[in-house]
Amino acid sequence: MTNPSKIDIRSLRLEELTARLAEWGEPAYRARQVYEWLWNKGATQISDMTNLSLALRNRLEEHFEIRNVKVQHSQFSKDGTIKNALTLHDGLVVESVMIPTPTRITACVSSQVGCSLGCTFCATARMKRMRNLNPDEIYDQVVAIQKQAQETLGRPLTNIVFMGMGEPLLNYRNTMEAIEKITSPQGLGLSPRRITVSTAGVAKMIRQMADEKVRFKLALSLHSAIDSKRSRLMPINETNTLADLEAALDYWYQQTRSRVTLEYVVWEGVNDGEEDVRALVRFARKFPSKVNLIEYNSVGEDSLRQAHPSAIAAYTEALEAAGITCSFRRSRGRDIDAACGQLANKGEAVVQKTS
């Protein structure tokens, strides 16, 4: 647990840290050393910072602490996927997933504890939103999986997807700051092209990212290109309609020249008809995109069922005929509820906040 009289050292920017240490008469390069320990070497305690004098380490410890996320528990799928339950400094729990393939290792990270969007098919929606994650809490998920990748497979982490719990664009600043720490040379130095932010569709923030000329990739969870159906599946569509999203994604492409991925699950009797296929082709053609058909992972006690393979084939054929790249993503880690939409802290008792 945290000590409320101490400051979370990772909440300070480099300039703030530099100013703080300057008050103690320390030169600017000291602050850079501390920063490197925090964001490049992933130090978990101030005493790890062995190139600082003992006096400075003690002084830092009097005022600051590192609020590391702790891996409380990991579950191992027979397909190699690992799901982690992580405890935050206030006792809340989030999940992250390591997904290995022969050529890459992907970290699937959470951006919020729970989620406010209420998508009918997603288990996280049942938890409601408890709070946003701080940049360091997102960063720690990546570092934990980086270690796991080396320890279990002897290979480095190659990709990051923001497809865990929560809506990253409703925790915008913290998500951007975490990505900055993950990609900057003073941080982990991972290429932004290997990071994908997935959104349920917050048009205003898609435009904001485009204006900031971010260099990571963007995925939109679409699931239907017909407004009335999409609103039933994803209530956020009532305020961020397909027309809003189309305009925002077009703007995104103009600014970034980066092709958007459209994520799409086909459900029996919901979006497996010809008009659904036509609507998706029309939508996907409006700006450069590719479609990722995702296998549905049941979240229990609901009426949604994965569509028949022939319905999926109808989508693939129509998309290919229209010249739109399309892939079908097999589910990973289902046996441990680690697949898309299955993250709901089931393995763990969530410590409920009282205030």
Footprint of ligand SAH on 280-299 (CB under 6 A): 294, 296-297, 299
Which is nearer to ligand SAH, 42 or 166 (by Cβ)? Answer: 166
CA pair distance 295, 223, nearest whole angstrom? 12
Residue 353: CB minimum distance to ligand SAH, A = 21
What single string gives the DSSP state of each residue in 251-267? HHHHHH--PEEEEEE-B
Select the residue interacting with ligand SAH from 233, 326, 340, 344 (CB under 6 A). 340
Which residues of the chain form beta strands (DSSP E)?
A: 7-8, 64-65, 70-76, 82-87, 93-100, 105-108, 112-113, 131-132, 159-162, 195-199, 217-221, 260-265, 289-294, 326-329
Establish whether 340 is a catalytic residue.
yes
Select the residue interacting with ligand SAH from 18, 134, 221, 289 (CB under 6 A). 221
| Candidates 26, 65, 95, 137; catalytic one | 95
Report in angstroms the alpha-carbon separations of 309 from 153, 185, 230, 262, 299: 34, 45, 22, 19, 20
Pattern 250-279, ligand SAH, x by CB under 6 A: -------------x-x--------------
Amino acid letter for position 273: G
CA pair distance 5, 8, nearest whole angstrom? 10
Q: Does 26 bind ligand SAH (CB under 6 A)?
A: no
Which is nearer to ligand SAH, 31 or 195 (by Cβ)? Answer: 195
Footprint of ligand SAH on 158-217 (CB under 6 A): 163, 167, 198-200
- DSSP β-ladder status, 105-108 and 159-162: parallel
| Residue 285 DSSP symbol | T
Pattern 78-97, ligand SAH, x by CB under 6 A: --------------------
Give the catalytic positions in this structure: 95, 340
Binding residues for ligand SAH, per CB under 6 A? 121-122, 163, 167, 198-200, 221, 263, 265, 294, 296-297, 299, 340-341
